[in-house]
Structure 1
């Protein structure tokens, strides 16, 4: 089996190159070889490489910048996935795509199910929803995984930002009224590989059905709780990091205004993923500990 991965230098894309290796020949392309801001070129690339599976891990992820650059976000997150879906349909390939909790407005009091009404409250969420809709309309075989609060030992993410700021400042103020489940990129990649293996077996048996699945850690916390856990873990697991921060104060979202509004509730229910693929994601704090071990070189 030949697997094409886009966004090879991203947090999830980089992990996918490792997780997918047991399944076949992995072709992992970064933006220099596969630029989603040029959707018209994607079909020719896929025809050249002839993959059996396309895993689209590339995305426009600058949430605040998208507010003033929604056209670019929609091109990459909406139009390009639609082009990949159309060529996947023509070639009979399976498309795997990643979406986000930001397709919801965050007002639900419980974790979101896949079938809850979508109502994005920012440009990034609208662009990601456009991608979901384009893939669904194409009629290709597909799996869409909605994930949330992604972190990793590499790239730009909350864990690395907190470790940097914690080494520079004595105190920090972190939002405490947004709730979610921090999700490690490696867990996303490993779960994708498991689901993909099952999906390909289903396709061979002609029992496959496309769908949208929540893919997030178990448990929940706030950004403030996440920050405190990062610093506690770093002190235990990264003794040489030189943290200065002594206090992390909780603040409301209103005290930290950003161009893009964020959902207050980013929790995603994962029952559908477990029922279909038998996948149970780790707790967010367990995943954080493993990520910090990686940063420590263990």
Structure 2
């Protein structure tokens, strides 16, 4: 059995479908138990006894984590540590998701997996601690670090921009943070390939891998491209693209600092799995089309 934690999130939801051809898949949501409670987690693991765990559960409220570090610690560190112990004791495979926030956002070059980390926020620090716990466990866990995740369901930047574009005639969007938008469906599909390889005893697949689309953009240009794609598919938007105004991060203060450079080098995962990841614009076209068809 493949157990997917956080299956009610946008990545978890996509994972249930992408992993289905590989065997029995069980998703865990908040309704199944409190994943920040070790006793409840133990009951769930012992009940389902998975041969593979895909941990898509995390505390992702970046700003709220600054004032609630205990909750972030429980889900981003405590849960991975417990899953690793159980996986080691029961000979199970473990996959986990991390973030660009583990880096300090300096420079302009894409980060490589071996680069020094330096998280700026509580969220980033707890995610990094969770990564390290898995690496220290010595179980061959696979950690996917991704960035700017969005999709056609849930709560994310793309859906927020489309909603605002229907309501407002002008928007200010940060234009000095660089990264790569990555849809949940792509993360799920690549994970499915990796899980299949791991279940075939591909022991070389372990450690940290960057998993994003190719290319780079800013939040402002991402927002403009979202609106262009939606309009081409017939969406009625109040705003025109040139009324999406670029602003610096300094004009959009937030409790948690954001990395200015979230570019991630994806060469390792492409080479390891024999993949060619799509450009972010191509992936966005598919995602917006999905949104337009089912909204």
Q: Output the TM-score relative to the length of structure 2.
A: 0.96
Cα distance between partner residues in 2 of 1:100 and 1:40: 27
CA contact (8 A) 2:226 2:284 kept: yes
Cα distance between partner residues in 1 of 2:291 and 2:107: 35
CA contact (8 A) 2:205 2:272 kept: no
Match of 1:265 among 236, 255, 261: 261
- After TM superposition, give the deviation of residue 274 of structure 1 in Å: 1.2
Tell me, yes or no, if structure 1 residue 116 matches structure 2 residue 130. Answer: no
Match of 2:236 among 226, 239, 242: 242
- After TM superposition, give the deviation of residue 295 of structure 1 in Å: 1.0
Tell me, yes or no, if structure 1 residue 51 matches structure 2 residue 47. Answer: no
Match of 2:215 among 196, 219, 228: 219
Tell me, yes or no, if structure 1 residue 197 matches structure 2 residue 191. Answer: no
- After TM superposition, give the deviation of residue 136 of structure 1 in Å: 1.5
3-state secondary structure, aligned to 2:201: helix
What is the alpha-carbon root mean square deviation over aligned residues?
A: 1.2
Q: Which residue of 1 aligns with 2:133?
A: 134
1:73-110: CA deviations, max 9, x gaps? 11111111110111001000000000000000000320
Cα distance between partner residues in 1 of 2:206 and 2:290: 34
3-state secondary structure, aligned to 1:35: coil
Cα distance between partner residues in 2 of 1:219 and 1:154: 23
Q: Which residue of 1 aligns with 2:69?
A: 70
Q: Which residue of 1 aligns with 2:206?
A: 210
Tell me, yes or no, if structure 1 residue 296 matches structure 2 residue 292. Answer: yes
Q: Which residue of 2 aligns with 1:30?
A: 29
**Runs of 4 or more consecutive aligned structure 1 residues displaced over 3 Å after TM superposition:** none
Cα distance between partner residues in 1 of 2:238 and 2:102: 37
CA contact (8 A) 1:79 1:130 kept: no
CA contact (8 A) 1:40 1:83 kept: no
Give the direction of change, closer, same or farther, for the CA distance of 1:225–1:148 in structure 2 (3 Å limit).
Answer: same
Q: Output the TM-score relative to the length of structure 1.
A: 0.95
How many equivalent pairs are there? 292
- After TM superposition, give the deviation of residue 36 of structure 1 in Å: 1.9
Cα distance between partner residues in 1 of 2:273 and 2:34: 31
Structure 1 unpaired stretches of 5+:
none
CA contact (8 A) 1:79 1:134 kept: no
Q: Which residue of 2 aligns with 1:276?
A: 272
Cα distance between partner residues in 1 of 2:46 and 2:35: 16
- The more displaced of 32-41 and 274-283 is 32-41
1:43-66: CA deviations, max 9, x gaps? 231121011100000111111111
Cα distance between partner residues in 1 of 2:68 and 2:117: 22
1:166-224: CA deviations, max 9, x gaps? 11111000000000000000000000001111122135xxx445211000010110000
3-state secondary structure, aligned to 2:95: strand
Tell me, yes or no, if structure 1 residue 256 matches structure 2 residue 255. Answer: no
- The more displaced of 32-41 and 249-258 is 32-41
Match of 1:285 among 272, 281, 284: 281
3-state secondary structure, aligned to 1:250: strand
Cα distance between partner residues in 2 of 1:121 and 1:30: 29
CA contact (8 A) 1:89 1:141 kept: no
Q: Which residue of 1 aligns with 2:155?
A: 156
